[in-house]
Amino acid sequence: MRLVIARCSVDYSGRLTAHLPEAIRLIMIKADGTLAIHSDGNASKPLNWMVAPNLIETHADRWVVTNSKGESLTIWIDEVLEDVTHELGDDPGLQKDGVEAHLQELLAARPWVLEEGLTLVRREYPTDIGPVDLLCADQENRAVAVEVKRRGEIDGVEQLARYLERLDNDPRLAPVRGIFAAQSIAPQALVLAEARGIEAIEVDYEGLREVEDTELRLFDIRH
């Protein structure tokens, strides 16, 4: 990976023509030949870019990038401020962050964010068709089953409805209320939840994570 910070202007020609007037910019050249030009703004999107495979010719005053589609990018270099190259090696790839499992863990630790006075009875409470994410007790000590999803869809509501049906067969728990909790809930799932007498609640995952970050523990429970 080569990173160059330079005062430059840029001309592109291909599907259209475009010109970037002279300014200080970051030029990123990846090992695979992809080139991108960034400014300090524009979020993550480059001002201009050429996806590999490319041919890059470097001259004292300009770099010329061309590809087989007939596109070309000419970067007129006025002054190089930084020029660094690093070998990044193989990338392990994007790992799924386990939001749903983490959301369940966060809600298990503080079920009152779903309903005032709600306390946890057990996580992964078993039923004969599988475990419900959280079994809680409300302020009147009535059983409340909570199903946690990252995104609340109809099938999640149906799943909770089936758990409630099984839990209601246990005379020591019945009647069991249901709460369907998700980061976001689809409108159809909201309608179905209401029809099934299930409360649907959207939870602020990022907010819960912030709370977790400020909590102090005696020891790290992740190990």
Partner 1 sequence: MRIRAQRDDLADVLTRANRAVGTRTALPVLQGLLCEVSGTTLRVTGTDLDVTVRTQLEVEVMDEGRAVIPGKYLSEAVRKMPPGQVTIGVTDTDIEIEGNGPRFTLRPLTVDDFPTLEDVVADGVEVDGEDLADAINQVTIAASGDGARPILTGVLFETSDDGLRMVATDSYRLAKRDLPGVGLEGSGLVPARGLRELPRTIGAPKVSAQLREREAVFTSDRGSLRLRLIDGNFPKYQSLLPESYPNQVILDREELLEALGRVTLVAEDHIPVKLKLIEGGVEVAVSRQDVGAETEHLAGDYSGADDEVSIAFNPRYLQDGVSALSGDKVRIQVIDSYKPSVIDDGTDGDFLYLLMPVRV
Q: How far is the CB of 215 from partner 1 (least distance, A)?
A: 7
Q: How far is the CB of 142 from partner 1 (least distance, A)?
A: 14
User: Is 219 among the residues that bind partner 1 (CB under 8 A)?
Assistant: yes
Distance of alpha carbon 93 from alpha carbon 194, whole angstroms: 40
Range 117-148 burial, b when 16+ CB lie within 10 A, else e: ebebeebebebeeeebbbbbbbeeeebbbbbb
How is residue 111 annotated by DSSP? G
Q: Under rule CB under 8 A, which residues in 30-89 are in contact with partner 1? A: none
Q: Which of 120, 154, 186, 190 binds partner 1 (CB under 8 A)?
A: 120
Burial (0-12, 13-18, 19+ Cβ within 10 Å), 196: middle
Q: In terms of CB distance, is 96 or 222 closer to partner 1?
A: 222
Q: Under rule CB under 8 A, which residues in 127-146 are in contact with partner 1? A: 127-128
Backbone angles phi, psi at 201, to 5 degrees: -130, 125
User: Is 163 among the residues that bind partner 1 (CB under 8 A)?
Assistant: no
Q: Under rule CB under 8 A, which residues in 91-110 are in contact with partner 1? A: 105, 108-110
Chain-centre distance for alpha carbon 192 = 26
Q: In terms of CB distance, is 96 or 219 closer to partner 1?
A: 219
Binding footprint of partner 1 on the chain (CB under 8 A): 105, 108-110, 112-113, 116-117, 120-128, 170-173, 211, 214-219, 221
